[in-house]
Chain A
Amino acid sequence: MSLQPISRPLLSLFLRETRIARSVGGGGAIGVVFFLILVSLTPFAIGPDLNLLSRIGPAILWIAALLATLLGLDRLFQADADDGSLDLFMMSSTPLELVVLVKCAAHWVLTGLPLVAAAPLLGLMLGLEPEAQAGVAASLLAGTPALTLLGAIGAALTAGLRRGGLLMAVLILPLTTPVLIFGVSTAAAASGGTVPFHTPLLILCALSLATIAGAPFAAAAALRAREA
């Protein structure tokens, strides 16, 4: 059993996650629709001042992306804990850390990547320059994996709780501050400024890589301690 190649179960886990998310009620597209609504509501609140909008546009896009990413994350482990799948994951020979990582990867492909694709389009609505649109998309591409993986820690901590989603957001949002700071500064650096574009972008990449390396262990430990 332990000699079985490890990639097969992980691949089928990835396919299962995407299939569930695409099915009715799976919530695959909710994140990007929420993102769309949030960004299009902002000009109504702020007013049609294009200069102001284009100046705060990257920040709006980043906050909307942050909230949209967290929106579906509370179900990441909750659904598996409710229907007993989580017990069976723990009894498989695949390490729980890898299960967490693959679930996060599937979640990012289904919610993070559409945000990256939609950001330039919505940037147009906020009056962003072409360079700034590209900068926002690049910063989201580099930064949203960190949001997903940080969120996974919160999702794992609240997997056994009723209405754990709100608690998860409260736990995780403060931790996302560095990602938000460097995300917005990457986007701002793209449209000119004193900081070269690659400096904040590289820090953003480093944040994502660090969470990819560390968060699966934290989340798996939280899942194991769920019932102890």
Chain B
Amino acid sequence: MKKQDFVLRQQPGFRLSARSLRVERGGRAIINDVSFELGSGEALLALGRNGAGKSTLLRALAGLLPLAGGELTFTGGNAAPLCEQAHYVGHADGLKTALTALENLEFWASMLGARKLAPQQALEKVGLARIGDFPVGYLSAGQKRRVALARLFVAARPVWILDEPATALDVGSQERFAQAMAEHRAEGGMILAATHAPLGLVDARELRLDRGFALAGAAA
């Protein structure tokens, strides 16, 4: 077992609580009065139509958009703020097309800190063991997405914030990724995801968004 896995397991007491979050963009409220609680090993699935505010909510949770109101507290782990303990996989893959997959992963491993798997092992985990020294620019959309997902494994961070993570993934990769998410939750991590397609998250809580409001009784 890797040392970092062990650290994650020893501190199962992560807790994320959001109280009446409000996020504005350009003066308009995109997220209004959204609250939820999430503990170790739990997953939250944000659902809703296009433009319902799923991505905005996730970006605000990742610290990339300022909160216009409400309270977001994260306890457990080290004292660092949530954004430094969370992985974010958004619509953009965060990869440099001129660099190889391994160079990209190696860079993010040292930038994000708390190394977990070696880049080559992380690529094996997403089924791309043999394309490590290929420039990312030559890869297909699905392969790029898998390299971006491999970033989740090179740095140990307890919270995964995933915005449509399964875009362009084939069925086999989706199953492999569902298994990786299950492992992460078994280690005590938490997952917040927005999706339209099923992600294979078992007993995830659902947060149904409609025009920025959480629909009643969706996430207790």
In the assembled complex, which residues on chain B have CB atoms less than 8 Å from the CB atom of A93? 80, 84, 113
Minimal Cβ-Cβ distance residue in A for B86: A91
Which residue among A8, A12, A24, A88 has the maximum number of chain B CB atoms within 10 Å of its CB? A88
Chain B stretch 76-116: residues in CB contact (< 8 A) with chain A: 78-80, 83-88, 90-99, 103, 106-108, 110-114
Q: How many chain A residues touch the partner (CB < 8 A)? A: 28
Flag if B80 contacts A84 (CB, 8 Å).
Answer: no
Q: Mark B174-215, 1 if CB is under 8 A from A, else 0.
A: 000000000000000000000000000000000000000000
Q: How far is the CA of A94 from the CA of B112 in the complex (A)?
A: 8
In the assembled complex, which residues on chain B have CB atoms less than 8 Å from the CB atom of A1? 78, 80, 84-85, 113-114, 157
Flag if A13 contacts B96 (CB, 8 Å).
Answer: no
Minimal Cβ-Cβ distance residue in A for B56: A227
Interface-lining segment among A15-23, A125-133, A134-142, A168-176 = A15-23
Q: Is B63 an interface residue (CB 8 A)?
A: yes
Flag if A227 contacts B65 (CB, 8 Å).
Answer: yes
In the assembled complex, which residues on chain A have CB atoms less than 8 Å from the CB atom of B157? 1
Minimal Cβ-Cβ distance residue in B for A87: B64
For this complex, into which size category does the number of interface residues on chain B fall? 35 or more
Q: Is B62 an interface residue (CB 8 A)?
A: yes
In the assembled complex, which residues on chain A have CB atoms less than 8 Å from the CB atom of B99? 16, 19-20, 23
Q: How far is the CA of A90 from the CA of B64 in the complex (A)?
A: 7
Q: Is B69 an interface residue (CB 8 A)?
A: no
Q: Mark A52-78, 1 if CB is under 8 A from B, else 0.
A: 000000000000000000000000000
Flag if A87 contacts B96 (CB, 8 Å).
Answer: no
Q: How far is the CB of A75 from chain B (nearest CB, A)?
A: 12
Given contacts A85-B94, A90-B64, A227-B64, contact A13 B111 (CB under 8 A): yes
Flag if A92 contacts B113 (CB, 8 Å).
Answer: yes
Minimal Cβ-Cβ distance residue in B for A15: B107
Flag if B107 contacts A16 (CB, 8 Å).
Answer: yes
| Set A16, A23, A87: member contacting B94, Cβ < 8 A | A87
Flag if B79 contacts A12 (CB, 8 Å).
Answer: no
| Chain B contact residues, CB within 8 Å of chain A | 25, 59, 62-66, 78-80, 83-88, 90-99, 103, 106-108, 110-114, 157
Question: 13 extra interchain contacts, Cβ-Cβ under 8 A, other than A87-B88, A88-B108, A91-B86?
Answer: A1-B78, A13-B107, A20-B99, A23-B98, A82-B92, A83-B94, A84-B90, A89-B111, A91-B87, A91-B112, A92-B111, A92-B113, A227-B65
4 closest pairs, A vs B, by CB? A84-B92, A23-B98, A84-B94, A12-B110
